[in-house]
Structure 1
Amino acid sequence: MDVKIFYNSVPVQLDFNYETLKIAESVHSFDTSLVLDNEGKPFDVLISMKMEIKPWFIERIHQTEIGKILGQSYKLSPKGYKDLLNKYIEKFRTSLKEEILLSELLQKWKLEEGFLADIIKIAPLEGRIFSFKRDAALMRMAVNSAISNDYISEDTNINNDIRPFLDSNNGIKLYRNKFRVGTIGNKDNDWLKLQQKRTSGQQFYRFELGNVIGYIKINDFYQQYIYETSSREHLTDNPFVKALQSVLEYIFEAFSPRFTKRAVEISKDILDGEKLIPTNNSEEIKNEVKKSEDVLKAANENIKAIQKAFSVIDENIDLDTDDKKISSRKCCQSLKV
């Protein structure tokens, strides 16, 4: 959603780095459409939800599965992960989308029937959430992949561009059409209780407030139904706010953890099917143990050789005769690889 600001009919330039949004490893989005009867009157709301992932999402899952050292031979290039995503893109698209009628949702979650009429009044709704990883190694992985796969320019800098952008804009803002609703969604305003939900289980798959940037938009141009308190820090409690928050709670449960967990499992299944995850059967484990033992044996022999060499050198440290010089030189040559 593009937000435009004018002052005395002159457009104001916004310093919003849209380029950085391309580094998000996943994007969750939803929208709604009114279901009309034969007379053209709305009687239900269809909620459509989906999740999109980037190549570095699969790369992160792969790294988690194979480890940083032992699995290097299984690791793909950034373009390799993009090819893998493109190969299975329909599988992701089909699995990471859902639709549900609001009337069905009310029954499923045992919500108040009056919510349907309330949501119809502020529909259509839409939202989009961009998820990032702030961990230094994962952020570097995302940036390298995004540059290699032509998502962003080569001069994008993590410390100068990305981190300041995330610090300034993290959170999920609430918009009434194209206008911000108070300070709802600022980084210190967790109106969707994302951090609270992270303590309720499946933390690995849930949104983390500091790692997301997004918006939710409602249709309430004249501020009839959804409005903030006088402090502009909270929403005024009324039936419309309660209906909105209940519907959003369902949507976010579908997004995170359900969609995110599903994306992780699909990625693992694809990587396994492509033989990109070590099977670690008993024979392979024996071979790895044997290799480790051989390396350890060679290391011990090298240590003994070094100790012997130092002993000889120590005995001939004065180097005051030709024999001592020759003996020391031979010991040093014996240490060459």
Structure 2
Amino acid sequence: MAKLKPRARLIRTIGDKLISGPEAAIIELVKNSYDADSPSVEISIDPPSESDSGKIIVKDFGHGMTYDNILNDWLEPATDTKTKNTLSKSGKRTVLGAKGVGRFASASLGKKIKLTSTARLHSGYEKSSLKLDWSIFESNTYLDDIDIDINRTEISSADSTGVSIEITELSTIWDEKKVRKLVRELRRLATPQHDETAQFDIYLDLKHFSKGNPEPYNFNGPQLLFETNRIAEVIEDSNADNTKKTSNTLITPYRISKESDYHLQGSFDAAGKFTGTFTIVRGDNLPIPLNLEAPPLEIGELPCGPIGVDLRLYDLEKESIEKLLERMGLSFSDFGLRNARAMISENTGIGIYRTGFRIRPYGEPDNDWLKLENRRVQNPSKRIGHGQISGTINVGSESESNLIERSSREGLETNSAFERLVTLITNVLLKIEQKRFDFRAKAGISRKPVKRIEKARELSSLDSITRAVRNLPEEAQKPLLLKIEKESQILTKTLDEIEAYQRLLESRAALGMVVAQVVHDGRTYLEPINSSAKSIIKNAPYVLEDSPKGELVRKFYPSYGQAVLDGSKGLSSLFKSLDPISGRRRGRPVEFSAIESINNTLNLLAEALIMSSVNVELEVDEHLKLYGYPGDLQSAMVNIIHNAIHWLKSTENNKKIVEISSKVEGGMAKISISNNGPLIDEQDQNAIFDAGFSLKSDGHGLGLSIAKEACKNSNGDLSLDEDYIDTCFVITYPISQ
């Protein structure tokens, strides 16, 4: 029988031919250090000079390799050791390598390698060393004809265990561009670990790069890494003044920026069902539950296992970026629009991570593996582009997820499991893109806000068309002017109907907000009435009976009556509170008590105030009399206080307060309603009263518009006090004279 006889150059194929590039080769060596339970790895690059050909040293402090490990595992191509043992020697880490080819990555970095390992034995320590010249594998000899220089020495003590790999006669020209790419790759390799047992630091020593070197190595290596880390820290925590922690050797891991305009977080189960939340950060910052059923598996399609999702989205208009930088604690003027967009772009990209380590090249700014830009071309106003999203997709092991890494370490095999992964993520994006689109429309982002109905009335006169027609010959004007007048009348009538409907909304919208409160209070009052009525009917035959039971019934009869009376009083109070906003015929304006109308409003919203832990501080003149329609004031206040409750819920303030105060100026009363929630951005202050404008996740943009129109109906007004320290709305209302 014949046997395969591999030639020596097969190793070169596995090494520098299969590994995609020098950055990938170094990353493979770093992963080996992680698998060895090392708390850190140190990488040093010494560029070539006149005296030597340069070298790279990769050193870890893990458990090391014994002589037998090197002989039977490290020197065995495609070993299945890590496939059989998926956990590291300590049992605390899931190993990253499995194909047994990563160790030959050094072949693509330089011609010669020296491996030194210190490992612990039962009776002491063993120090082993291996020297290898990769050029010998370029010969036509067979693999089993090549001898490798390896020796070992037993020692009684050692400062630490671990492996050091020194690579000389470098194959790559490590110029500034190449070093920057390596730094970026190492930064994006690992996410910050919350588990101390999995903590893994990467150090990169670039002190041998200096401006005194010949080209292309004449750049300041430590400063390059320092500046790169500084940008990472600014984006991560916005603490631009704190430079003490910035290092010129420790790689600052890539982190998703804490600030964004939108945030998607959740997970897919093994079947593909998504459960999570979508938060409009630049809006009310309240998580919106998001649930998607799993799409059925097609015939032959592989599942991709449980998946964790954490994505952040950005708007790129100038005003949006200004607000984003403001939330990050940065000044837009320090960056400018171009640099700010470049900073966002540098940190965009959706990375796929396994065991806390990124699978290359997913997550690179130029790797659009979800084909987001192709989708965006078809609908740019709604779809998210690759440069607008960053985050992580966490997948399981290869056996759990069916997502197999290519031997080249350049991505995952494009099998049906990978295609399903793309489908699942795309389906979620479709949902949040619509929510983002709806929010942007309501918030007036990237479009002119819709003006009030007065502007439409001006346009309905068709004056510009009329003027143009008057330039025509006189005989041609008459039929056209008659047609224009007719169309103008139709438009005016339509606008009258819209305005009438808007006024109807003024009364009904406020009522809709308090339906839940009405049902709650109504049931509370009806329960004792219902219970007492049943007891009265049931015990009526015993009222006049001369017996112990009759005596007991007569004793409790007054309490039944009192319960019915209390319940009826409660219902009466509730109906009285609802009466002003019931939408009944208005009649003439009347004189009414300001404090009574305000108390009715607070009574309607009592449940919402209590559930949201909002305290109301009331400083209103008890003798203040207003003149107008009580329902207008109450409708306005319901909308304003309901808004205040919503925004106070979006903060972590432990003392949520709504303050209501009053004062009189001339013939008008000014009722101020303030809250200590988030302030309204200056750019939004002119638009908040426009119908349709909203920053709420599920808002309709009618509340403040209705409140303002309600005040105007009673010859008053509603405005925002821009000079007040908190968010403060001021209702101006006529007083009784």
Q: What TM-score do you get using the length of structure 1 for normalisation?
A: 0.53
Q: Aligned in 2, Cα 1:198/1:224: closer, same or farther, shift over 3 Å?
A: closer
Q: Aligned in 2, Cα 1:155/1:221: closer, same or farther, shift over 3 Å?
A: farther
Q: Aligned in 2, Cα 1:227/1:162: closer, same or farther, shift over 3 Å?
A: farther
1:245-264 pair list within 5 angstroms: 245-256=422-433, 258-264=434-440
Q: Which amino acid aligns with 1:112?
A: E
Asked if structure 2 preserves the Cα contact closer than 8 Å seen for 1:30 and 1:49, the reply is yes
1:1-337 pair list within 5 angstroms: 2-4=191-193, 11-12=201-202, 15-16=232-233, 17-19=235-237, 21-33=257-269, 44-55=271-282, 85=284, 89=286, 93=287, 96-102=288-294, 105-106=295-296, 111-112=297-298, 115=301, 118-119=303-304, 122-123=305-306, 125-144=307-326, 146=327, 152-153=328-329, 157-158=334-335, 162-163=340-341, 165-200=343-378, 202-220=379-397, 225-256=402-433, 258-265=434-441, 267=443, 277-283=451-457
Is the deviation greater in 15-24 or in 184-193? 15-24
Cα displacement (A) at 1:197: 0.8
Cα displacement (A) at 1:277: 4.9
Q: Aligned in 2, Cα 1:114/1:101: closer, same or farther, shift over 3 Å?
A: farther
Q: Aligned in 2, Cα 1:210/1:235: closer, same or farther, shift over 3 Å?
A: same
* Partner of residue 80, structure 1: none
Distance 2:346 2:376 in 1: 22
Asked if structure 1 preserves the Cα contact closer than 8 Å seen for 2:266 and 2:275, the reply is yes
With CA pairs under 8 Å and 6+ residues apart, which has the higher RCO, 1 or 2? 1
Q: Which amino acid aligns with 1:26?
A: Y
Distance 1:264 1:162 in 2: 21
User: Structure 1, residues 39-89: CA drift from partner, whole Å, max 9, x if none?
Assistant: xxxxx453124321133xx5xxxxxxxxxxxxxxxxxxxxxxxxxx37xx5
Distance 2:436 2:279 in 1: 10
Q: Which has the higher helix share?
A: 1
Identical amino acids, percent of aligned pairs: 16
Task: Give the aligned CA root-mean-square deviation in angstroms.
Answer: 4.0
Runs of 5+ unmatched residues, structure 1 = 35-43, 59-84, 147-151, 269-274, 290-337
Distance 1:237 1:10 in 2: 30
Q: Which amino acid aligns with 1:28?
A: L
Q: Aligned in 2, Cα 1:267/1:30: closer, same or farther, shift over 3 Å?
A: farther
Q: Aligned in 2, Cα 1:3/1:247: closer, same or farther, shift over 3 Å?
A: same
Q: Which amino acid aligns with 1:263?
A: F
Q: Aligned in 2, Cα 1:261/1:286: closer, same or farther, shift over 3 Å?
A: closer
Distance 1:249 1:282 in 2: 41
Distance 2:339 2:202 in 1: 21
Q: Aligned in 2, Cα 1:223/1:49: closer, same or farther, shift over 3 Å?
A: closer
Cα displacement (A) at 1:239: 2.8
Q: Aligned in 2, Cα 1:29/1:279: closer, same or farther, shift over 3 Å?
A: farther
Asked if structure 2 preserves the Cα contact closer than 8 Å seen for 1:176 and 1:219, the reply is yes
Cα displacement (A) at 1:131: 1.8
Cα displacement (A) at 1:194: 0.2
Distance 2:403 2:452 in 1: 53
Distance 1:161 1:26 in 2: 21
Q: What TM-score do you get using the length of structure 2 for normalisation?
A: 0.26
Distance 1:203 1:178 in 2: 33
Distance 1:26 1:9 in 2: 29
Distance 1:54 1:224 in 2: 32
Cα displacement (A) at 1:195: 0.4
Q: Aligned in 2, Cα 1:139/1:3: closer, same or farther, shift over 3 Å?
A: same
Q: Which amino acid aligns with 1:18?
A: E
Cα displacement (A) at 1:9: 7.4
User: Structure 1, residues 99-126: CA drift from partner, whole Å, max 9, x if none?
Assistant: 1332xx22xxxx51554x623xx31x12
Q: Which amino acid aligns with 2:439?
A: A
Runs of 5+ unmatched residues, structure 2 = 1-189, 204-228, 239-256, 464-737
User: Structure 1, residues 310-336: CA drift from partner, whole Å, max 9, x if none?
Assistant: xxxxxxxxxxxxxxxxxxxxxxxxxxx
Distance 1:46 1:197 in 2: 23
Structure 2 counterpart SS, 1:205: coil
Q: Which amino acid aligns with 1:27?
A: H
